Copies of this chain bind each other. A is one copy, B any other.
C-alpha cells in the first residue's frame, strides 16, 4: 500500500463498489459490501470470500485480518462515496454472496414480506443465535443489502438461507408445520408448538403483520401472551421471542448456560 490513495470516485473499482448499492447489481454480480472492522472480522472468521477491501491510509485492519493483498487505500471522500452510512470509519469490503440453498427439514424462520431492513437483519441475528435456518418470500427485502447486513451483525455467515419461490406452499412441500404469528386471535406457545415435525415460524411486516390468507393456510397461529390492554410488540421483538420459545422447547435449555 505504498502508493497514493485513490481519490477519484470515478476510479473503476470504486465505481463498481458503489454500484453494489443497487439490489439488481448485487443479484447479477453475486457480491455485496460490508462495513467496519467488526463486520469484516466476522466475515473473515467465517471464511467468507472477501474480494477487495477499501481502507483509509493508516488503517491497520486489512493487514491485521490477513487481507493486505486485497486492500486498496482510498481518501475519505471516496470511502464516503462507497458507504451508505454518514461517517464511515472503514474499511469497506466487497464480499461474495452465499447462494441460497434448498430448505432443510428443520426448524425455520420465515420472513414473509418483511420490508424493513432493520427488522429483517435483527431477526436473522436472533435466528442464528438460536440455530434456525432462514427462508424468505419474494416480497421480503434483499437480505444482502448493507442495511440488513449491519443489523444482522454477521448472521449471514452463520445461518442457512433459502428463498421460497412459491411462498408457504414450499414449506408444506418440505414437510414443515407452518406456524403463523399474530398480535391477537392465536393460541399460546404450548399449543402452537405441539408437534414433533420441524416448524416454519412465519413473521410478517410491521405494522400490518401476516395477510389473512396466510394465517388461514397455516397449521397453527401463535399469539404471545401480554399484560392487559397494551400496544403490540415490535415485530422483531415478537418474532425473536417466538424463536426463543421454540428453541428452548427443542432443547436449547433454560436450566443453565454459560
Interface residues of A (CB under 8 A from B): 42, 122, 125-126, 128-131, 151, 153-155, 158, 184-191, 223-228, 230-234, 236-237, 240-241, 244-245, 247-248, 252-258
Contact = CB atoms under 8 A, between A and B. Distances in A.
A258 B255 CA distance: 28
A75 to B, nearest CB: 28
Contacts of A185: 258
Contacts of A225: 247-248, 252-254, 256-257
A194 B143 CA distance: 40
Nearest to A184: B258
Contacts of A154: 231
A128 B230 contact: yes
Tallying the copies of this chain within the complex gives: 2
Contacts of A190: 254-256
Given A131-B227, A237-B237, A257 B125 contact: no
A152 B148 CA distance: 22
Contacts of A189: 254
A256 B191 contact: yes
A215 B237 CA distance: 25
A253 B122 CA distance: 26
A189 B247 CA distance: 14
* A-B CB proximity, top 5 nearest: A131-B227, A225-B257, A188-B256, A237-B240, A189-B254
Contact of A240 (B151, B230, B241): B241
Contacts of A186: 257-258
Contacts of A241: 240-241, 244
Contacts of A151: 234
A252 to B, nearest CB: 5
A71 B258 CA distance: 55
Contacts of A258: 184-187, 223
